[in-house]
Amino acid sequence: MLYHLYEAQRALIEPFSDFAAVAAKMFATPTSPLAQVPFAQRIAAAYDLLHRLGKDYEKPEFGIRTFEIEGVQVAVHERVEIDKPFCQLRRFKRYADDPATLARLKDEPVVLIVAPLSGHHATLLRDTVRTMLRDHKVYITDWKNARMVPLADGDFHLDDYVHYVIEFIHYLQRNYGNCHVMSVCQPTVPVLAAVSLMASRGERTPLSMTMMGGPIDARRSPTAVNNLATQRSLAWFENNVVYRVPPGFPGEGRRVYPGFLQHAGFIAMNPDRHLNSHYDYFQHLIQGDNESAEAHRQFYDEYNAVLDMDANYYLETIRTVFQEFRLVHGTWDVRAPDGRLERVRPQDIRNTGLLTVEGELDDISGSGQTRAAHDLCTGIAADEREHFEVQGAGHYGIFSGRRWREKVYPVVRDFIARHQPKAAGVETADDESEAALMAAAIQRDSSVEPSTTPAASRRRRRAQPGA
């Protein structure tokens, strides 16, 4: 019922939010008569803030079109490689004209970034992806909003999460020979489970695992998030935060942990910080500080965009990771697609490098929670394991922002490079045809009529391959 009331309230507020957006522009536009009234700038700022407080925040896009390597512009084409009911495997394919840059791109490591399924969209890792693209072929898990998944597609469980990761790793191994895996926050646990199962089966495991700010052992340095999970019973979570998706969505009737409740929890953790941030935004608008105001918009466009999680997955994560600590106790059994139970044994991993990263001031995953992976992965040689603590960084600082780019990324890049074989990886079979299509698209975008002769097509394929 709460979800239905929330949607009714959102529908009621939406027209007022739209009106506030129009009013803000009318009072802020210099040519408008309303811009001449006293305190017009303050009125415009107030309306703008009212609009942002009341608007509905849709999933943002990654928006990574180009980046630069040593003065050379590299184009990025984003596409979906695998489309599962609850997740898409998204690829950021890189293209360059410069032969030396192209050769470098083709020889670089393949990295699967496993994004969190814990409230925000995978676009929260936009800065992570953009930075990783400098030296890697990048894929990412883009989790779907559960309210958009029809009931006919079934439920989603923690075991399914583990199987998705294994399937994506197998896909990259088939195309490139092998890959590296990087998990941020929540997925450190299912990723470790996935690689453990692969090792126990005798399958080829990823070349390296990079685990950042995740609850491998949530008993260590417990945070407010951990305490909530241990102080409440599983039945309490099921009765108080699980609701059915209301009419009007493809997933109508699905049991979910709604995004709006997760967002309320995020805000409740630091209410003063968010209040001050909105007040500063109001002042920046009055002062005409457009750069600071735009930075605020970009942050909250991402922060306020949340998704629903399937209730089965959410409740099983609470029980397995935060209440019963099955991974560290060695009691976690994952049900295989054929129905068999497989025990998660991190000690079976031997041929995969392990890098753990923690933020000194992380208030989501406390100190030592991620580092605990080293105590579990005893089969990995000591010289193949590394831990890095980021001084002065909170949770988001280890994968986004200046500290990520200047302190964390060089460590991650060098660790992956040390575990990358010297031989170049195998490109996918459709690279040549894709390159021709991309070349034609680039020509169309620059208003140049592409030649349709076979010789011209061959020249375009040679000029615009990707990696």
The C-alpha atoms of residue 107 and residue 199 are separated, in whole angstroms, by: 26
The CA distance from 21 to 52, in Å, is 8
Domain 66-241+308-418 sits in CATH at 3.40.50.1820
SS3 93: strand
Give the H or E element holding residue 417: helix 409-418
Q: 244-269 burial by CB neighbour count: b if 16+ within 10 A, else e?
A: bbbeebebeebbbbbbbbbbeeeeee
Please report, to the nearest 10 degrees, the dihedral formed by the alpha carbons of residues 409, 413, 414, 420 taken in order.
Answer: 160
pLDDT in tens, 305-318: 999 999 999 999 99
Residue with tokens 């309490």: 236
Enumerate the H helices of 201-340 as residue ranges: 224-231, 234-240, 259-269, 271-287, 290-303, 311-317, 326-329
**Whole-number pLDDT of residue 448:** 34
Give the pLDDT confidence score for residue 70 in this predicted structure. 87
CA distance linking residue 70 with residue 280, whole number of Å = 37
Q: Which pair of structure tokens corresponds to residue 208?
A: 């390296």
List, for residues 377-421, the tens digit of each pLDDT value: 999 999 999 999 999 999 999 999 999 999 999 999 999 999 999
Give the start-to-end residue ranges of the domains of the chain: 2-56+260-303, 66-241+308-418, 431-463
Burial 270-297 (b: 16+ CB within 10 A, else e): eeeeeeeeeeebbebbeeeeeeebeebe
Q: Which helix (H) or strand (E) holds 383?
A: none
pLDDT at 423: 57
Query: 16: helix, coil or strand?
Result: helix
Cβ contact 386:137 at 8 Å: no
Q: pLDDT truncated to tens, each residue of the chain (467 aa)?
A: 799 898 898 889 999 999 999 999 999 999 999 988 999 999 999 999 999 999 999 999 999 999 999 889 999 999 999 999 999 999 999 999 999 999 999 999 999 999 999 889 999 999 999 999 999 999 999 999 999 999 999 999 999 999 999 999 999 999 999 999 999 999 999 999 999 999 999 999 999 999 999 999 999 999 988 998 999 999 999 999 999 999 999 999 999 999 999 888 888 878 999 999 999 999 999 999 999 999 999 989 988 999 999 999 999 999 999 999 999 999 999 999 889 999 999 999 999 999 999 999 998 999 999 999 999 999 999 999 999 999 999 999 999 999 999 999 999 999 999 999 975 444 443 443 444 444 444 343 433 333 333 333 333 333 344 66
Phi, psi of 143, deg, nearest 5: -75, 140
C-alpha to C-alpha distance for 467 and 452, rounded to whole angstroms:
25
Q: Which residues pair with 335 in a beta bridge?
A: 341
Please give the full DSSP string across 175-188, using - where no structure is assigned.
HHS--EEEEESTTH
Calculate helix-pair angle for 454-463, 431-445, nearest 10 degrees. Answer: 100
